[in-house]
Amino acid sequence: MTLTPRTYLVKTLGCQMNVHDSEHMAGLLEEAGYTKAPAGDDVADIVVINTCAVRENAATKLYGNLGQLASIKRERPGMQIAVGGCLAQKDRGEIVTKAPWVDVVFGTHNIDVLPAMLDRARHNARAEVEIEETLQVFPSTLPSRRDSLAAGWVSISVGCNNTCTFCIVPSLRGKERDRRPGEILAEVEALVAQGAVEVTLLGQNVNSYGVEFGDRGAFAKLLRACGDIEGLERVRFTSPHPAAFTDDVIEAMAATPNVMPTLHMPLQSGSDRILRAMRRSYRSEKFLGILDRVRAAMPDAAITTDIIVGFPGETEEDFQETMRVVEAARFTSAFTFQYSPRPGTPAFDLEPLPKDVVQERFERLLALQERITLEDSQALVGRTVELLVLDGGGRKDDGTARLSGREPGNRLVHFTVPDGAEEPRPGDIVTVAVTHGAPHHLIADSGIAGGTYAVRRTRAGDAWEHAHTDGHSHGDSCGTGGAPAGGPVSLGLPTLRVGR
C-alpha cells in the first residue's frame, strides 16, 4: 500500500534572508519525503512559520497565525506546527508556553534540525524546542526548493558585526560569518546549470564580505568573478551598508556587464545627529557622495533605500534633514517605517515620540517619496527595456491580459503580447518600450502599436517549460531544473558544520 506523502507549507514573515531560509526549510522537508501543499492551500500536514523579529507587530503576526492554526489542528489529527526564524531564536520556549499546540521551535542557527525535530515531537508526543547560540550549518549547503527557476538567492554571509541601536539582527543572527568565494561561485554555477539566469547575492551587510578572511576587496572581486560565469545574465545584491561602501564596488559594478545597475542602500535617517544615535557610522554627506559616484559610473542606476521615521529624540529639524536628503537622493523607491522599539536592542529604553507626531511625519515622507517615484517612472516613458519575464507569468488580470517582468533597474513592468506574436515563457527575456509610468510599475504596450516587441528564449525559459510540460506539474512553484522532478536541490557541497 503506497502511503500518501505528508504535505508541508512554509509561511515566511520578514526579509530576503528569511525568504532564502524558507527555501532551505522546504528543501529539507522534501528531502525528508514531504511534498509541497498545492498552491493556494493555507494548511498542510506540516505548517512551518518562519518568523521575523524586526518590527513590533512581528509577534502579533506570529500569534495571530498560531491562533488561527489552533482550531484547524483540532480538526486535523497528526498535523504539526513548527516555528523558526528570528522570533523563535528570541522567544524560544516562551512560544510553546503561549501556544502549547506548537510542536517544534527551532532557531536561525540550526535550520537543518527541522525534519528530525518533527519526527522526535511526533514520536515523543510532546513539543520540542532546540535553539543554538551559534551557526551550526551554513544554510546555503542545505538542500533548497527555490520558488523561481529563473532567479535564485545565494547567501555570501550570515550575521552582522554592526550594532545599530534599533536593530535586533546581531543578537539573533550572531556575528558575521563569510562563505569562501569558491563555495559561492560554485553555488552560482550550480544554479545557472539548473537554468537560472539571475542571482541575488545575499548578506546582512554585503560590503563587509571578506572581513572574516581578511580581504577588504573580496566583495568587488566576487562581483567581477560573477561576470565570468557563462549563462549568468543578471547579478544583484542586498544589502550593502553605506559605511563600508567602497569605490572598488562601484568600479566592479560599472565594469561587469551582468551586474545590474541597482543598489538598495539603507539610509535610515538624513539627520547626522540621529545617525549618530542609531550608531550608523556614516553621515548624510558621505551617503549622498556615494550616490553621486554611483550615478557618475552608472547614469541609469536605480537606487532604493530603507528609512526609519520617529527614532527617539528625532526633532522636526532632524526630520527636515531626512526630507532634504530624500529630495536630493531621488530614490527610485523607498521602504519607509515608523520606529518600532524592540526588546533587546540598545535603543529600546529610549523615550519614544508621540505616535501622532510619528504618523504625521511618516505621511509627509511617504508623499514626498511617492512624488519622486512617480517622476522616476514617468521619465522612463519611451525607454526600450529588456525584461526578465516573471514566474507565475500568468496574466496580470483578465481585463488587461498583460504579462509581467523586471527591467535591469528591477522595476516591475507589465507588458502586452501583440496578437499573433510569440508568447514568452517565464525566464525568457522580452524587449519592449515603456509606454506609461505609474507610481509603482511601468506599462510597456509598445508591441500592440506595431512598436518594439521581441522575445529572446533563454535557458531559464527552457527549464520552466521542461518543469511545466511532459506531465511535470509543480503547482505554482517551479521544480528545480535538472534535479529529479519536485526533488530538492542538493548542491553537492559537503555539509559544513561550524563551531562543533
Sites of contact with ligand SF4 (CB under 6 A):
160, 162, 164, 167, 169-170, 204-205, 241
Query: Distance between CA 42 and CA 38 in Å, rounded?
Result: 9
Q: Which amino acid is at 250?
A: I
Q: Which is nearer to ligand SF4, 234 or 241 (CB)?
A: 241
Q: Which three cell numbers stand for residue 359?
A: 504618523
Q: Which is nearer to ligand SF4, 102 or 167 (CB)?
A: 167
Q: Which is nearer to ligand SF4, 7 or 162 (CB)?
A: 162
| Rounded alpha-carbon distances, angstroms, from residue 405 to 2, 23, 25, 28, 308 | 41, 22, 27, 30, 29
Query: Least distance in Å: CB of 212 to ligand SF4?
Result: 15
Radius of gyration of the chain (CA): 23
Query: Distance between CA 332 and CA 302 in Å, rounded?
Result: 6
Q: Which is nearer to ligand SF4, 204 or 480 (CB)?
A: 204
Q: DSSP label at 354?
A: P
Query: Least distance in Å: CB of 334 to ligand SF4?
Result: 15
Residue 336: strand pairing partners: 307
From the list 65, 78, 81, the residue with the least C-alpha distance to 117 is 81
Query: Least distance in Å: CB of 173 to ligand SF4?
Result: 8
Query: Least distance in Å: CB of 114 to ligand SF4?
Result: 24
- Count of beta carbons in the 10 Å neighbourhood of residue 214: 7
Query: Distance between CA 268 and CA 291 in Å, rounded?
Result: 15
Query: Least distance in Å: CB of 313 to ligand SF4?
Result: 18
Q: Which is nearer to ligand SF4, 188 or 347 (CB)?
A: 347
Query: Least distance in Å: CB of 204 to ligand SF4?
Result: 4
- Count of beta carbons in the 10 Å neighbourhood of residue 497: 12
Q: Which is nearer to ligand SF4, 162 or 256 (CB)?
A: 162
Query: Least distance in Å: CB of 341 to ligand SF4?
Result: 15
Q: Which is nearer to ligand SF4, 268 or 435 (CB)?
A: 268
> How would you classify residue 495: left for phi > 0, otherwise alpha for psi between -120 and 50, otherwise beta?
beta
